[in-house]
Structure 1
Amino acid sequence: MKETVATIPLMDAFLAKDECPFCFLEREAERHAISFIMGSAYMEDDIRMQTDKIGFCRHHYKMIYDYGNRLGSALILDTHLKKINQELKEQIESFKPGKKPSIFGHRRTDGEQETAKGALPTWIDEKTTSCYVCDHFQSNYQRYLDTFFDMYKKNPEFKKIFENSKGFCLPHLGDLVKRAPNKLNEKQQQEFYPVLFQLMQTNMQRLQEEVSWFVDKNDYRNKDAHWGTSRDSIQRAMQKLAGGYPADPIFKQDS
């Protein structure tokens, strides 16, 4: 299979023997995006236009703060706040409270329903859920999902690596299950799903046993017993259940 910009990172993610290769890719992508935006890109007009419009989610604001470039953060926030404040002013000026329901059960018209919902709550939802870094990964993530299935079908080496992997976190498992019907024919699905589900059950059971041994190891009767692979089982179990890396150190700007 011909290598592309997606095949090499995907293969590297699986070879990393992580609890979830897509979490591995997500972490790499978001760190690259933070380094890019907080390096010198925030001084470029086209990038600032995007960050002014889109902003960042709570998680990535925290990463930007922790990264350590205070001046860069202030410059991004300065122009973003100017845009937000102008839009907020316009939203407030056009805001109309919804009508109170009639005590006689009069049903609102479509126009009344729209006024009750209002443009302001919709605008707030958009501004608090959009994120430059999340969008950066999502655009690549969809390509990684498609590449995964292409490599599964065409690359025997990759297929073997997948079958011997540790599976995926539950959120990324869900994405694979939903994407498979669009990428695999019926016969391929009949082969793929049993392998995927067995892989997940085996590795979820493995983590349960590792966490159980972590608990038992803290019993004084087991103080001299070997930890095995359980010492870091807490953070790996959290990753498996929800994705991400709860034990990661803060990602900082190189000093």
Structure 2
Amino acid sequence: MKEQLYTIPLNDAVNADDECPFCFIERSVEQDLLDFVLGSGSSYMEADIREMTDKAGFCRQHFQKMFDYGNTLGNAWILKTHYQKVIGEMKEEFARFKPAKTSLKDKLRKAVDANPIAAWIGKKESTCYICDHFADTYARYMDTFFYLWNQDSAFRQKIQEGKGFCLHHFGDLCQAADSKLSNSAKEDFYSVMFPLMERNMGRLSEDVAWMVEKFDYRNKDADWKNSRDAIQRGMQKLKGGYPADGPYAMSK
């Protein structure tokens, strides 16, 4: 099947021979978004971009990654106008706030209405400019995966012969399969995926087990086999991501 522009990143991820192609994509997309928000293109200086970042804000995890990225001026610009928006909203919330009147019966039944200030803060914490953009991109890659799975026999073969997926992204694949595949196609999909996951989870388990054995003095001269990086790959396979990665920093 001829490769299309929108299929290239997913094919690249599969060809990378990673423990999970969707982890590979997740890291790549997140780094691209950090570059967009804080990189040399100076998108943070654009009023329309900062209007969007002011509205969505950033989650704790991505604030940490933005700090690690290293653009002090960019982070300061983003925080400057975001603070102005948050303080404006906060004053409005405070102005219309009235403490809830609750009875002892309500407290015993734990039937107290949601505190409006807590609800406002909860809403602020439910959005993140980077998370939200990644979610949209990730959904398109999930669509592309099933398109290639159905249309490209070479892609399907690479998946069948590959290292499978981390459990986190495999769960997403299974959830998506329910709506993206016909009933007969689901049978075929799971007949491939279940043995693939069992085989590769077993492979990681063996790598970790051999690393433990290597600490036995009797095995000090034995071959490490595939266990030298078993810890980070084992962690990735269970939860996703790249535990051994350092901070992603701005190019100098």
Fold conserved between structures, TM > 0.5: yes
Spell out the pairing of 1:32-43 with structure 2 (5 A cutoff): 32-39=32-39, 40-43=42-45
Structure 2 gaps, min length 5:
none
Q: Which amino acid aligns with 2:172?
A: D
Give the corresponding residue for 2:163: 166
Change (3 A) 1:20 1:104: closer
Give the corresponding residue for 1:198: 195
In the alignment, does 2:21 pair up with 1:24?
Answer: no
1:167-221: per-residue Cα shift (whole Å, max 9, x none)?
1111111111111121111111111112111111111111111111111111111
Give the corresponding residue for 2:240: 243
In the alignment, does 2:54 pair up with 1:47?
Answer: no
Identity of aligned residues (%): 50
Spell out the pairing of 1:146-225 with structure 2 (5 A cutoff): 146-225=143-222
1:40-94: per-residue Cα shift (whole Å, max 9, x none)?
1000111100111111111111111111110111110010011111111222222
Spell out the pairing of 1:10-159 with structure 2 (5 A cutoff): 10-39=10-39, 40-103=42-105, 116-159=113-156
Q: Report the Cα offset of residue 124 of structure 1.
A: 1.0
Q: Distance in 1 between matches of 2:148 and 2:103?
A: 57
Change (3 A) 1:55 1:194: same
Q: Distance in 1 between matches of 2:154 and 2:81?
A: 49
Which moved further from structure 2: 25-34 or 92-101?
Answer: 92-101
Q: Report the Cα offset of residue 229 of structure 1.
A: 0.9
1:129-174: per-residue Cα shift (whole Å, max 9, x none)?
3111111111111111111111001001101011111111111111
Aligned pairs, number: 250
Task: Give the TM-score of the pair, scaled to structure 1.
Answer: 0.92
Q: State whether residues 99 and 116 of structure 1, in contact with CA within 8 Å, keep that contact through their aligned partners in structure 2.
A: no
Q: Determine helix, strand or coil for the equivalent of 2:141.
A: helix
Q: Report the Cα offset of residue 105 of structure 1.
A: 9.3
Q: Report the Cα offset of residue 96 of structure 1.
A: 2.8
1:94-137: per-residue Cα shift (whole Å, max 9, x none)?
223333344499989xxxx6x72032222211212311111111
Q: Distance in 2 between matches of 1:206 and 1:190?
A: 25
Which moved further from structure 2: 97-106 or 5-14?
Answer: 97-106
Q: State whether residues 98 and 117 of structure 1, in contact with CA within 8 Å, keep that contact through their aligned partners in structure 2.
A: no
Q: State whether residues 30 and 133 of structure 1, in contact with CA within 8 Å, keep that contact through their aligned partners in structure 2.
A: yes
Q: Report the Cα offset of residue 3 of structure 1.
A: 4.0
Q: State whether residues 67 and 253 of structure 1, in contact with CA within 8 Å, keep that contact through their aligned partners in structure 2.
A: yes
Q: State whether residues 210 and 229 of structure 1, in contact with CA within 8 Å, keep that contact through their aligned partners in structure 2.
A: yes
Structure 1 gaps, min length 5:
none
Q: Distance in 1 between matches of 2:155 and 2:106?
A: 66
Q: Distance in 2 between matches of 1:141 and 1:104?
A: 43
Q: Distance in 2 between matches of 1:241 and 1:106?
A: 41
Change (3 A) 1:227 1:73: same
Q: Distance in 2 between matches of 1:24 and 1:36?
A: 18
Q: Report the Cα offset of residue 224 of structure 1.
A: 0.7
Change (3 A) 1:105 1:96: closer
Q: Which amino acid aligns with 1:68?
A: G
Q: Distance in 2 between matches of 1:188 and 1:173?
A: 17
